[in-house]
Amino acid sequence: MQIDHLINGKPVAGRDYFQTVNPATQEVLAEVASGGEADVHAAVAAAKEAFPKWAGLPAPERAKLIRKLGDLIARNVPEIAQTETNDCGQVIAQTGKQLVPRAADNFYYFAEMCTRVDGHTYPTPTHLNYTLFHPVGVCALISPWNVPFMTATWKVAPCLAFGNTAVLKMSELSPLTAARLGELALEAGIPAGVLNLVHGYGKEAGEPLVAHPDVRAISFTGSTATGNRIVKSAGLKKFSMELGGKSPFVIFDDADLDRALDAAIFMIFSNNGERCTAGSRILVQQSIYADFAAKFAERAKRITVGDPLDEKTIVGPMISQAHLAKVRSYIELGPKEGATLLCGGLGAPELPDRVKKGNYVLPTVFADVDNRMKIAQDEIFGPVACLIPFKDEADAIRLANDIAYGLSSYVWTENIGKAHRVAAAVEAGMCFVNSQNVRDLRQPFGGTKASGTGREGGTWSYEVFCEPKNIAVSL
């Protein structure tokens, strides 16, 4: 299969092609156009030309097309989910039941929302002030390889719904489902040039895109290192930076331990542990630490590692051999830093024949982790849990915040006052109390500190995709 760029509604051949590989089997899935400056220029020019007409459509007409795109995704869930699973190794139980259906919901949600954009009024005795929310113009949308389809749609849906046009660049490791999104957008009747795709590597395709003078806003999801680079090189533009995380999952001794255990397992091992909001630092109160650690490791040992196309598989392959090597290097480091390996480690999981060559790692649990160890401070982005004991509420808050990141956080306690105090004190963009990460599309999604800046979701998406204007009329 060959995947080309999509520019102004037409497939555009690459000057060069790279291969995308199934991480479970190492089979080459497609030859993908490798974009550069010229492709970026053409895509931005197409988006710029399409902008006035698209922005000028009444919102209900844009909404109709956006909703239709949602319908086309909903109708094609099994096919898209299978492509996604093959391209990035996320297990089919997640892609088929959660992530691809959620992508359709993103379009339904923002189709509805764009018809309700309203302004504010600030009347004074001498002036009437009111605000308008204009679309921004051409937006650069850049996505990572983990949950790529859902992330792409989380950007494309509000971007287009609010009247902007887009150039989308997916990760070079997982470009296939977004290529399908481009086809479905045209099938839905979204005009040529409104959504353009340039494939390729960060340096060749990403850099010229974010630096392009006609790009007015950047919605980026990816690593903190890349986010920092983009902020420095892009110049004055609107930004939303959704970056890395190492989120604390705090369990007090008065928590509902069975539910906390289920949620803790889910938040570190689902999506192969390749999840920005993973609860990867599990802080457990000393009085229940030993018991919790034993139960947690027992559950982790029973996790099914295997073929991501098998509905029963919980942990599939890591995205690439390079990423596998990175995750393994942290598993090797843990005992050297003094952590106790409770399960997993560097051994090979038992695998069905079809996926024997895949990039697999065993779900791994480290106990007796000190929060200053590298395994606790660095984003491993794999199925590796760190169990860290704490003494009391103040100690839990101190450890939760002793980290560069601030994306998500989780607090488990039956004490309502303590829950609210810790939720308020933790330095993170999001805090889930007695819950795993459950999303409502209205809530502000995003992080603080090294996890980024800006929020997306609901009216928070105005921040990057709308330009507010105040109009003051003298009375």
Tell me the catalytic residues.
Answer: 242
How many Å from the N-terminal Cα to the C-terminal Cα in the chain?
64
Nearer to ligand NAD, 130 or 201 (CB): 201
Contact between 132 and 471 under an 8 Å Cβ cutoff? The reply is yes
Euclidean distance between CA atoms 22 and 163, whole angstroms: 36
Work out whether 223 is an interface residue with ligand NAD (CB under 6 A).
Answer: yes
Nearest distance in Å: CB 450, ligand NAD: 10
449 binds ligand NAD (CB under 6 A): no
Query: CB-wise, 412 or 445, nearer to ligand NAD?
Result: 445
Q: CB nearer to ligand NAD: give 146 or 413.
A: 146
Which of residues 14, 23, 245, 383 is near ligand NAD by CB under 6 A?
245
For residue 361, state whether it binds ligand NAD (rule: CB under 6 A). no
Closest approach of Cβ 233 to ligand NAD, in Å?
Answer: 7
Q: Which is nearer to ligand NAD, 167 or 367 (by Cβ)? A: 167
Structural tokens at position 103: 């992508």
Pick one of 229, 418, 421, 439: the residue that binds ligand NAD (CB under 6 A). Answer: 229
CA atoms within 13 A on the CB side of 94: 25
Contact 404, 243 (CB under 8 A): no
State the minimum distance, in angstroms, from the CB of residue 276 to ligand NAD: 3
Q: Encode 41-75: b = buried (16+ Cβ within 10 Å), e = exposed.
A: bbbbbbbbebbeebbeeebeebbebbbbbbebbbe
Concatenated DSSP letters of 3-19: E-EEETTEEE--SSEEE
Characterize the bridge pairing of strands 215-221 and 138-142.
parallel
Residue 169 in the binding site for ligand NAD (CB under 6 A):
yes
> C-beta of 131: minimal distance to ligand NAD in Å?
28
When binding is defined by CB under 6 A, the residue of 204, 207, 307, 427 that contacts ligand NAD is 207
Tell me 350's DSSP state: P
Is residue 4 close enough to count as binding ligand NAD by CB under 6 A?
A: no
Are 36 and 204 within 8 A, CB to CB?
A: yes
Write each residue from 21 to 60 as x if it is in contact with ligand NAD (CB under 6 A), else as -, in one continuous string.
----------------------------------------
**Residue 67 amino acid letter:** R
Choose between 251 and 430: whose C-beta lies nearer to ligand NAD: 430
Q: Is 210 exposed, middle or buried (0-12, 13-18, 19+ CB in 10 A)?
A: buried
Residue 207 or 307: the one with the smaller Cβ distance to ligand NAD is 207
Q: Give 62 or 155: the residue with its C-beta nearer to ligand NAD.
A: 155
* Span near ligand NAD by CB under 6 A; candidates 136-144, 290-298, 351-359, 384-392: 136-144
Instruction: Please identify, among the stretches 111-119, 197-205, 396-404, 413-421, the one whose residues bind ligand NAD according to the rule CB under 6 A.
Output: 197-205
Listed residue (314, 344, 348, 319) closest to 330, CA to CA: 344
174 phi and psi angles, rounded to 5 deg:
-150, 65
Of the candidate residues 381, 410, 432, 462, the single one contacting ligand NAD (CB under 6 A): 381
State yes or no: residue 202 binds ligand NAD (CB under 6 A). Answer: yes
Give the nearer residue to ligand NAD in terms of CB position, either 96 or 206. Answer: 206
- Which H helix or E strand runs over 134? strand 127-135
Under the binding rule (CB under 6 A), the answer on residue 407 touching ligand NAD is yes
Q: Whose CA is closest to 344, among 323, 361, 325, 327?
A: 361
Which of 471, 88, 63 is CA-nearest to residue 274?
A: 88
Q: Is 168 in the site for ligand NAD (CB under 6 A)?
A: no
Q: Which of 163, 222, 248, 308 binds ligand NAD (CB under 6 A)?
A: 222
- Our finding on whether 327 is near ligand NAD (CB under 6 A) is no
Amino acid at 100: V
Look up residue 13 and give its two tokens: 């051949």
* DSSP annotation of 457: S
Name the site residues for ligand NAD (rule: CB under 6 A): 142-146, 169-172, 201-203, 206-207, 210, 221-223, 226, 229-230, 242-245, 276, 379, 381, 407, 447, 452
